[in-house]
């Protein structure tokens, strides 16, 4: 599905661009999840493969993280990584049941 209008985002992320590509899926536990390409530049086949890999590796859902040496755990904090799709490298941010690709 292609998003037609900008959507304000929570979690401090930039708003979605008007051409953002949104793919939806289902986790192994039956929860809806989605992958958003906010650059609208990644090949659809590679986006589908990435979404399936994220589901298979159970990256979706609330997670608890602590800062190295810290005494507290933050539930639902965004996790980020860098991924290469085709010739391009993207910043990937995963929050709960949503993963987003941004320009790197």
Q: What is the spatial distance between Cα 50 and Cα 62, in angstroms, rounded to a whole number?
A: 19
Residue 99 domain boundaries: 1-59+80-104
Q: Is residue 15 part of a domain?
A: yes
Q: Is residue 24 part of a domain?
A: yes
Residues 10-32 pLDDT 10s = 567 789 999 999 999 999 999 99
Which pLDDT belongs to residue 3? 41
Q: Is residue 73 part of a domain?
A: no
pTM score, whole prediction = 0.78
CA distances from 28 to 49, 55, 61, 64, 97 (A): 16, 7, 11, 19, 12
When divided into structural domains, the chain yields a total of: 1
Which pLDDT belongs to residue 85? 92
Residue 53 has pLDDT above 60, yes or no: yes
């Amino acid at each position: 599905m292609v998003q037609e209008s900008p959507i304000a985002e929570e979690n401090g992320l930039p708003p979605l661009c008007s051409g953002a590509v949104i793919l939806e899926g289902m986790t192994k536990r039956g929860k809806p999840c989605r992958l958003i390409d906010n650059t609208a530049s990644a090949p659809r086949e590679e986006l589908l493969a990435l979404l399936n890999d994220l589901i298979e590796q159970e990256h979706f859902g609330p997670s608890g993280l602590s800062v190295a040496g810290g005494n507290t755990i933050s539930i639902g904090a965004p996790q980020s990584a860098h991924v290469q799709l085709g010739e391009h490298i993207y910043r990937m941010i995963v929050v709960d049941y949503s993963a987003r690709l941004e320009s790197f």
